[in-house]
């Protein structure tokens, strides 16, 4: 879906975030030179259309005790990826699930999902239980825990 000029301007103006003040949207409307009511309608429409994922507050997960941040990667036959990815994605503890290109020969994995947990052994149990329930025993996978956060900016973009 393409953005029209006004929506493009709105997102550009909002790149640095939403002000924390009495009427934050009025400020944006002024910068884009449209009526605040129109701005609110446009933002809602972008949310409904999935252009905006959310107008959210972004937490820094380590600070909240989410220290067991695991990336689980799977080597799934191409003709099975849609079915398997869909079944993994609906597991309650999965926070992200993406198909990405394999990097053969070094990296055969094509599905990446994340579990943000507070303890490693709990995350491993969740993963093992999921493998059993979904019948993924024959799918080659690896779990990569993060050992150190090297950078997390207040990124401009969603993840």
Partner 1 sequence: MVNKNYQLDEIDKSLINQYQGGIPICQNPYALMGEELGIGEKDVIERIENLLTQGILSRAGPMYNPEYLGGSLSLAAMIVPDDIYDTIASKVNAYPEISQNYQRQHILNMWFVIACDDKTSTKEVIEKIETETGLKIYNMPKIREYFVGLYLKV
Q: 27-86: which residues touch partner 1 (CB under 8 A)?
A: 36, 40, 43-44, 46-47, 51-61, 63-66, 69, 71, 85-86
Q: Match 């129109």 to its residue by tokens.
A: 38
Of residues 98-117, those binding partner 1 (CB under 8 A): 98-101, 103, 106-107, 110, 112-114, 116
Nearest distance, CB of residue 21 and partner 1, angstroms = 7
Nearest distance, CB of residue 32 and partner 1, angstroms = 13
3-state SS assignment for residue 96: strand
Contact call for residue 119 and partner 1 (CB under 8 A): no
Cis peptide, bond prior to residue 105, ω within 30 of zero:
yes
Nearest distance, CB of residue 99 and partner 1, angstroms = 4
| Residue 65: partners with Cβ closer than 8 Å, 6 or more residues away | 118
100 half-sphere exposure, CB direction, 13 A CA radius: 15
Nearer to partner 1, 36 or 131 (CB): 36
d(CA 20, CA 104): 47
Q: Match 């993840």 to its residue by tokens.
A: 159
Of residues 1-20, those binding partner 1 (CB under 8 A): 1, 3, 8, 11-12, 14, 16-18, 20
93: left (phi over 0), alpha (psi -120 to 50) or beta: alpha
Of 4, 121, 137, 148, the one binding partner 1 (CB under 8 A) is 148
Nearest distance, CB of residue 129 and partner 1, angstroms = 18
């Amino acid at each position: 879906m393409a953005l029209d000029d006004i929506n493009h301007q709105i997102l550009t103006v909002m790149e640095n975030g939403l002000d924390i003040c009495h009427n934050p949207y009025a400020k944006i409307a002024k910068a884009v030179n449209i009526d605040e009511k129109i701005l609110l309608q446009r933002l809602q429409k972008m949310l409904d259309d999935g252009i905006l994922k959310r107008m959210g507050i972004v937490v820094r997960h380590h600070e909240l005790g989410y220290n067991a941040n695991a990336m689980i990667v799977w080597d799934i036959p191409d003709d099975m990826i849609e079915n398997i990815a869909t079944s993994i994605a609906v597991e309650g503890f999965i926070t992200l699930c993406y198909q990405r290109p394999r990097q053969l020969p070094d990296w055969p994995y094509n599905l990446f999902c994340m579990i943000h947990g507070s303890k490693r052994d709990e995350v491993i149990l969740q993963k093992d239980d999921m493998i059993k329930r979904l019948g993924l025993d024959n799918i080659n996978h690896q779990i990569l825990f993060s050992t150190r956060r090297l950078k997390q900016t207040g990124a401009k973009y969603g993840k």
